Amino acid sequence: MKKILLTGAAGFIGFHLVKKLIDFNFEIIGLDNINNYYSIKLKYDRLKQLGINKTDVKKKLLVNSELFNNFSFVKADIADNKFIINFMKDHQFNYVINLAAQAGVRYSLENPFAYVKSNVSGFLSILEGSRITNVEHLIYASTSSVYGLNNEFPLSEKQPVEHPISIYAATKKSNELMAHSYSHLYHLPTTGLRFFTVYGPWGRPDMAPFLFTNAISLNNTIKVFNYGEMFRDFTYVDDIVQSINKLINIPPKLNPNWKQNTSDISVSSAPYQVFNIGNSTPIKLMDFIKSIEKELGIEAKKDFLPIQPGDVLSTHSDSSLLEDYIKFKPQTDLSYGVKEFVSWFKNYY
């Protein structure tokens, strides 16, 4: 049974990924610092679904799941460099999936130091631990936000990402650069995943699906930025999880045919790759709001506002490189995804 370290296990995507992987022949150790960026209760409630009780969780102590004998959890911070590296030495993981990060575009304007600590220093812990323990494949979360001012759609891995417009995006861009350095220097196989607006049940309360659904259900006014003239490539969480599951056992390899003067920045001589993961179907913000209104049976009160600093006008993923690589296409229909999210929201809240 091969071992996986999955960081960010109490987070939105991490939780869903654990649920997926426990059905396969893996021993999984989840790790999360359970910070208070958003509701700690929601994070512990996710863990409870995985058989981890809040009362059993102690800092840096491994807790076994009461529901799944191939899952355990440790509360720790990836920015605790010494602990992370020693923990990885002790457990000798075959695969590492790093989803732990300080998330959120707008919060990065308020507290940039939190992003450098978690997303840069923390990621370095993961890279060093992976190098020292000869991890077979490191998969890590990047973001579509790295495209920044790029407005050539659909967004492709072949396009430059030199102009991020938030500290969050800049730290994720740095992850890709750091990963390439380790792939080149130490032949560590790394795969970066640029997520496009992930949504679904158990989603984060700081993101649009929750904010809209919560406000509309309470008959409060929702904030509609850029006067509704925004597009997002909403991607259902199950498609993200399915993609990661298919990637685990197919790490990138050294590419002896790489040409140094190539203009294709999506390829490298190193065992390194970056993929978009998006539904490839941008949805107008107002249409997304209408789909929530339909599921709730309530028309939203709307406050139309200018665009927020750090936000981009549109995202549209070209996920063809990923689809060719894993023979799977993220394509869950928005109406289904919103219905599932709103149904969970009603039950949980």
- Count up the domains in the chain and report the number: 1
- Residues 103, 119 contacting (CB under 8 angstroms): no
Q: Which domain holds residue 47?
A: 2-196+236-278+319-331
pTM of the full predicted structure?
0.96
Rg (CA), the chain: 20
- CA 301 to chain CA mean position, Å: 31
Does residue 242 lie within any of the structural domains?
A: yes
Instruction: Retrieve residue 286's tokens.
Output: 């107002």
Report yes or no on 76 lying in a domain: yes
Q: What is the DSSP string of 92-118?
A: --SEEEE------TTHHHH-HHHHIII
3-state secondary structure labels for all residues of 228-272: HCCEECCEEHHHHHHHHHHHCCCCCCCCCCCCCCCCCCCCCCCCE
Determine the 3-state secondary structure of 45 from DSSP.
helix
Would residue 66 count as lying in a domain? yes
Per residue of the chain (349 residues), what is the pLDDT tens digit?
A: 999 999 999 999 999 999 999 999 999 999 999 999 999 999 999 999 999 999 999 999 999 999 999 999 999 999 999 999 999 999 999 999 999 999 888 888 888 999 999 999 999 999 999 999 999 999 999 999 999 999 899 999 999 999 999 999 999 999 999 999 999 999 999 999 999 999 999 999 999 999 999 999 999 999 999 999 999 999 999 999 999 999 999 999 999 888 888 878 888 999 999 999 999 999 999 999 999 999 999 999 999 999 988 788 889 999 999 999 999 999 999 999 999 999 999 999 9
Asked if residue 231 is part of any domain, the answer here is no
Does residue 227 lie within any of the structural domains? no
pLDDT digits (tens, 9 = 90+) for 329-341: 999 999 999 999 9
Which CATH number fits the domain that encloses residue 61? 3.40.50.720
Answer positive or negative: Cα dihedral of 288, 17, 136, 185.
positive
Determine the pLDDT at residue 346: 96
- Check: CB of residue 269 under 8 Å from CB of residue 256: yes
Q: Which residues are catalytic?
A: 168
Structural domain contains residue 312: no
Return the number of other C-beta atoms located less than 10 Å from residue 339's C-beta.
Answer: 15
Q: Given this model, what pLDDT does residue 237 score?
A: 98
In tens, the pLDDT along 119-178 reads: 999 999 999 999 999 999 999 999 999 999 998 999 999 999 999 999 999 999 999 999
CB 244 within 8 A of CB 322: no
Let me know if residue 112 belongs to a domain: yes
What pLDDT does residue 192 have? 98
Structural domain contains residue 26: yes
Of 154, 143, 330, the closest CA to residue 243 belongs to 330
Do 253 and 271 touch, CB atoms closer than 8 A? yes
